[in-house]
Structure 1
Amino acid sequence: MSDTVTRGIRITVKPRYVAEQSDPDARQYLFAYHITIRNQSDDTVQLLSRHWVITNGEGQVEEVRGPGVVGYQPVLEPGADFEYTSGCPLTTPVGTMHGEFNMVVKASGVHFDAQIEPFRLAIPRVLN
């Protein structure tokens, strides 16, 4: 799990292994992650883009950048939440993800990156 606050924007990530869509014999492991973005600031903000750094268990790094999340660029009023679930395939049974969401304060136009601290992707009982 990851729980990070940047400028009043709290991002919580809860990952899980998706065994029914994985094939360990073929080195295909699918992980889902549920994200909650909560605006704890006094400003209305909009999520514009995402940047993920994905590292598998062999140290191979992949970066993913794109507009919004799951097809949305949500606007969050003070006190509002936005939740979504997405997935990440790996070729190893363990890995990590971290990144940031580029946000803009609607009233001022100020941009900032809301950080997402690293979280572990791991099949159950693979790590102590």
Structure 2
Amino acid sequence: MVTAITEGIKVSVETVYQPEYSNPANEHFMFAYRVEISNLTDYSIQLLRRQWFIFDSNNTTREVEGEGVVGLQPVLEPGESHVYVSGCNLKSDIGSMRGNYTVQNLIQDLTFKVEIPEFQLVVPYKLN
């Protein structure tokens, strides 16, 4: 698991290779990732947008950007967390992701970026 804290917002990510949804012979490697976003501040926040940079070891990079996470724009009160699971496919057996969330401080009506720490997407047999 990797973790980063930006302006009192903690983001932790863990990944799992999904062999049942992968087809290595056709260069299709599927990974699931679980993200926990925790509000460590003393004010309410809302997650508005996400931006991902996906790196594949075959030298390709993709950017994914849009509203919310898995169809939601959660509001987190102080001390609350939001957990979601999503997935990413690669054309190779090694890659990584990193990015940021755009979050709004609902008290001061200010938006700011929260780092999503870089995490590895690696098929288990590559770890030996």
TM-score normalized by structure 2?
0.97
**Which residue is 1:13 aligned to?**
13
How many residues were matched structurally?
Answer: 128
Match runs of 1:1-128 below 5 Å: 1-128=1-128
Distance (whole Å) between structure 2 residues aligned to residue 89 and residue 20 of structure 1: 13
Other structure's SS at 1:125 match:
helix
Distance (whole Å) between structure 1 residues aligned to residue 92 and residue 125 of structure 2: 14
Instruction: List gaps (5 residues or longer) in structure 2.
Output: none
Q: Which runs of 4+ in 1 moved over 2 A?
A: none
Distance (whole Å) between structure 1 residues aligned to residue 87 and residue 121 of structure 2: 11
Determine if contact 2:58/2:91 at 8 Å carries over to the other structure: no
Distance (whole Å) between structure 2 residues aligned to residue 127 and residue 57 of structure 1: 15
Distance (whole Å) between structure 1 residues aligned to residue 12 and residue 112 of structure 2: 18
Other structure's SS at 1:73 match:
coil
Distance (whole Å) between structure 2 residues aligned to residue 10 and residue 59 of structure 1: 30
Determine if contact 1:2/1:116 at 8 Å carries over to the other structure: no
Identical aligned residues as a percent:
39
TM-superposed CA distance for 1:117, in Å, is 1.4
Distance (whole Å) between structure 2 residues aligned to residue 29 and residue 70 of structure 1: 21
Q: What RMSD over aligned residues (CA atoms) do the two structures have, in Å?
A: 0.8
Distance (whole Å) between structure 1 residues aligned to residue 7 and residue 89 of structure 2: 31
Distance (whole Å) between structure 1 residues aligned to residue 75 and residue 13 of structure 2: 19
